[in-house]
Amino acid sequence: QQRQMCIRDRLYTAYTGMINEQNRMDIMTNNLANASTVGYKKEGSTSQSFDDVLTVKIKDQSVGMRNVQRLGVKNPGVKIGENYTDYSQGSFRITGNTYDLALSGEGFFAIEFTNKAGETDTKYTRAGQFTLNKDGYLVTEEGDYVLDTQNRRIRLNTLIDSSITDDGTIYQNGQAVAKIQVTDFEDYDYLEKYGETYYQPIQGAKTIAAKAQVKSGYLEMANVQIVSEMVNLISITRAYESNQKVVQTIDDTLDVAVNQIGRVQ
């Protein structure tokens, strides 16, 4: 019985290792897929050993609803932890377009977002690839409205050239006509990702004055380092294959034990 438990523990350890590496692979490939997405912030993942967990919730969804575990039971293997977002500054690309905006420093543009159900709320983004629509409103590539400091849509005269200063003020004919809202948050742990470049605050989020400067004619690119991500991808692949070989080896051993040992000649 003790030997059976040892084999089970090894299988379970390898199995959880494969699940963890698969999760890391999914996140890493998503980072690579968005390496050229304006304003994208790369993601990462954490993991924790079961040996470090004093109690595990019954029917913990992260280990599978069928894997019912009693409180206080320690199991071998690895448990998928939390995913996180790296909010570090991305590199700037010069475009020369007045309405291409990048934020230098911490903060987010405020966007009026309407979902498919017609519900409207405010999302936040670092992607400043804006343009004027046919009605003169400043909008995102998806057509969502950019908001000013009074939470109003920004409407400009399409026949007049604009200039935008570092504090987000828009000038036309030498007159200030609007000021782009830039919002920051006290703790980014209270931000939830929505899509690839939008973020929404959750309960407990507190806004603070943003110190970021608005740079007209620039775009902030993704903070994904392709070479680093590729190196991590290779490491993840090898770790997955190592766990896979453990499973295959134990499977071969069990096959010999069941089908060959003790066979009557």
Identify the three-state secondary structure at position 244.
helix
What's the DSSP call for residue 145? Answer: E
pLDDT one-digit tens code per residue, 54-103: 444 544 555 555 554 544 455 567 777 788 899 999 999 999 999 999 99
Q: Which two tokens stand for residue 240?
A: 């997955």
- Burial (CB < 10 A; 0-12, 13-18, 19+), residue 137, is middle
Give the list of residues 6+ apart from residue 206 with CB closer than 8 angstroms, or none. Answer: 185, 186, 187, 190
pTM: 0.79
Whether 124 has a pLDDT exceeding 70, the answer reads: yes
**150 contacts 170 by C-beta, under 8 angstroms:** no
CA 2 to chain centre: 43
pLDDT one-digit tens code per residue, 20-56: 899 999 999 999 999 999 999 999 988 776 555 544 4
